[in-house]
Amino acid sequence: MPEQTSTVPPSAVGGAHAAPGASRAGVFVALALASIALRPELVGLGPLQGDVRDGLGISRAAFGVLSALPLVGMGVFALGAGRLAARLGTRTAVGLALWGIVAGSLLRSAAPSYALVVAATVLLGAGLGLGNALPSLVVKERLAGEATRATATYTTGIQVGAALAAVLVVPLADAFGGWRGSLAILALLPAVAAVSWPLLVGHLEAPARPAGRLARAAHPGPALPRLRLAATLACMSCVYYGVVAWLAADLVDAGWSAAAAGVALGLLGAVSILSTIVFGVFGDRVGSRRGWVAAGLCGMLLGVAGLIALPALGLAWAASIGLGNGAGFGATMTLPLDLVEDPAMVASLMGPMLCGGYVIGAASPPVLGLLRDATGGFATGFVVLSVLSLIAIALTRSRAFR
């Protein structure tokens, strides 16, 4: 059922409906739980790539497709998040996204063939796409006066979910009979979020829905900011998802054990969490958005270059990538909230930004897999990621970054 809201002129709303006191705290908790569910089923696949490939009888490139499909979904379905929220209400739309993640995760873990795994992954990608785009609307509607802290809350949750998956996925596979059991257990995280969401936010009165919100949600917004935001996120996504998909395999190629490589991936996630928290605390007090995004990208560049030059220090390079990813991603996700006041217009910026960013970013895992098969190593692919980091750093000179 759509949320029951009143229809009033836009001027009477002002773009946000702040939640009071305890209700605001509930929104923060709900955002954190929901965001934790947005990465485990994606990040958890990387450390299991050997078992998945053996179990399904597929190549590295085919495995790269499994890694890329959720990213494509995260981009494509983000475009519809604003319209879905305008029709059903943001609260209901988030719940629908979370249950989509649960269904896709469980179906993927049980699917007996590669084709059915791909089909289930498409459903998973749809839930992830909506789930990644909708939190910004929740922030703008409920927590507009605390945008940096609220954005840092859900981006921190994303990093927490990624770190949990990276550290636990191999032990879970050992304990529950392989990659299928491991991914099924990880589905508990979105299940908890889906059950908790209506309990934490269901009592809140839905914000007034301005007349014409559906039309504005579909409006693409100014072209230049959209393109630059999408290009920046695309470069950042290529680096992050390329590294997450293949860091463990690269370190194993360099002589690390699978367990030690998993620890490096977990360290990347843990440092990302700390970095995102730092952004949440200091993002409005120190420097500019441009500075935070550029500094984050520099950290990612240093880490990727280090993996090429000296893989023995893989833990240090993983930490550098995590440091840059946390602050850089948090700052980038805050930009659409800075640029417009109306929540519907936030969706018109966020949807295209996520679509361009994640669809292009989705090419990274399979392309790196192809380059690995062609060259016998990951160095060439990581050089490409380094170049993309430099391009994104140059893009931060745009006036879309304040």
State the pLDDT confidence band at 106, using cuts at 50, 70 and 90.
Answer: very high
- What mean pLDDT is reported for the chain? 83
Closest CA relative to residue 250, chosen from 297, 304, 170, 178: 304
| Statement: residue 181 has pLDDT above 50 | yes
Classified as helix, coil or strand, 13 is coil
**Domains, the chain:** 18-395 (1.20.1250.20)
Rounded CA Rg of the chain: 20
pTM for the model stands at: 0.75
- Average pLDDT of the residues in 346-350: 76
Q: Rounded distance, CA 188 to CA 185, Å?
A: 6
pLDDT in tens, 248-299: 889 999 999 888 888 898 788 889 889 989 988 888 788 787 889 999 999 9
DSSP string, 275-298: HHHHHHHHTTTSS-HHHHHHHHHH
Beta bridge pairs of residue 210: 8
Place of tokens 């929540």: 343
Higher pLDDT, 245 or 274: 274
Token reading at 143: 């927590």
Beta bridge pairs of residue 209: 7
Q: Rounded distance, CA 332 to CA 376, Å?
A: 34
Q: What pLDDT was estimated at residue 238?
A: 93
pLDDT in tens, 73-105: 888 898 888 888 888 888 889 999 999 999 999
Q: Rounded distance, CA 199 to CA 182, Å?
A: 28
Q: What pLDDT was estimated at residue 16?
A: 46
Least confident of 103-112, 142-151, 313-322: 142-151
Q: What pLDDT was estimated at residue 297?
A: 95
| Statement: residue 60 has pLDDT above 90 | no
Contacts of 20 (CB under 8 A, 6+ apart): none
